Amino acid sequence: MTKDNSRIYKYFTINEWLFSTLINNDIFFADSRNFNDPFDSRPIFQITEDKEKGEKLFREIKDEINRHKVAIQKILYFDEKLKSQNYQYENILELIMEQGELFSSSNESSDDSLIRIFSFYNQDNIFDKASKINYLQLQKYMFKDIVFLLIDLNNIGVTCGSLKNDCPVMWGHYGNNHTGVCFEFEVANDKKEDIFSYDEDINFSYTNVEYTNAPIDLFCKNKIDLENVKQKLLHTKSAKWEYENEVRITAPRQGSLKFKKTSLKAVIFGAKSTPKNRYTLCKLLASLGYRFEFKIARIQTDQYEMKIETMNLNDIAGSGVNIEELGLGIAYKKAMNK
């Protein structure tokens, strides 16, 4: 992480979900497959007509699945499930031949997927058989298995932020049509140390999304760097999303994970947020012990841009405001009263 992206902006709708996030100082790290981009964690891949390259990839997937052999053999009813898969691998060949929809994480348990992949890649001469039936479809099958082994199997949790706080499109999409809020988090110090994660045993990692329309080429090297491929899967999106300037925060598990309250540095309200919501949220944050700047995204008169400015008393006027309840410093009180 560079100093330029040591601060990350995260947009929210003002609702009970946001209140829970603030009260519990935690953020949900989700399965990236459930995000609004259908290509998330499953970007496009380069296809090849060279069967030697395809066979090399096949062997690498086989090596990777066999690396989990001991754990797979401990799965409940392993012998019975493996025997069933060994009988059913012909059905997979039929799917490849028919170019039908192949297996996805939604209709298989993780254990069943492991046994299926283990069974398929350890069948005798299966690459030759499948490639003769439909080499293109076999490659799609292998790509899905790579995604499962590198992403789904590791239960990686992802939450998203942005390097921009003034993008009108982002406010429209993720800030509830400009009625929501954007939080400014400081996630790293000058030494690039993580100062966002509350739990010292859970290390968050921060990576800028790469926007490209070029497919991932798994055939370009003699040996595939699986860790590099995993990072590409997690952090590659179509160039159509480039306006988001997205930063991905990843964690070794999914679910609600705590952040340090001190990492919240500013609260930026949307241009269409109401004075009542602004005051309510400021009062809640102050009562919970957060210390931060109040800001607002203002519509510009002469250009299609938002400008982030310090909030003043007029921005919360008519909401029953009692400035003492917000626990502000003297200097900030003066700024608010201007």
What's the CA gap between 281 and 43, in Å, rounded?
38
Alpha-carbon distances of 321 from 23, 54, 105, 198, 276, rounded to whole Å: 21, 67, 50, 32, 9
> Which pLDDT belongs to residue 3?
43
Give the contacts of 239 (CB within 8 A, at least 6 positions apart).
Answer: 211, 212, 213
Structure confidence at residue 201 (pLDDT): 83
Phi/psi at 236 (5° precision): -115, 130
Alpha carbon of residue 284 to chain centroid? 28
Per-residue pLDDT of the chain (338 residues; tens, 9 = 90+): 444 568 999 999 999 999 999 999 999 999 988 888 988 888 889 999 999 999 999 999 999 999 999 999 999 888 988 888 776 766 667 666 665 555 454 567 889 889 989 989 998 898 998 898 889 889 988 998 999 999 988 889 999 999 999 999 999 999 999 999 999 999 877 656 677 888 888 888 899 999 999 999 998 777 888 889 999 999 999 999 999 999 999 999 999 999 999 999 999 999 999 988 998 898 899 899 998 898 999 999 999 999 999 988 777 766 555 656 665 554 445 545 55
Coil, strand or helix at 204 = coil
pLDDT score recorded for residue 54: 93
- Nearest Cα neighbor of 85 from 61, 103, 100, 60 is 103
A 10 A CB-CB count for 301 gives 5
How far is CA 149 from each of CA 47, 113, 173, 174, 269, rounded to the nearest angstrom?
A: 20, 9, 32, 31, 41
State how far the alpha carbon of 68 is from the alpha carbons of 58, 61, 64, 226, in Å. 16, 11, 7, 15
- Calpha distance 80→82 (Å, rounded): 5
- pLDDT for res 315: 77
pTM over 0.85: no
Q: How far apart are CA 33 and CA 233, in angstroms?
A: 11
Among the listed residues 291, 316, 259, the one whose alpha carbon sits nearest the alpha carbon of residue 24: 259
CA angle 240/246/251 to nearest 5° reads 130
**Calpha distance 51→41 (Å, rounded):** 26
Neighbouring C-alpha atoms within 13 Å toward the C-beta of 82: 14
| Strand-strand pairing, 264-269 and 293-299 | parallel
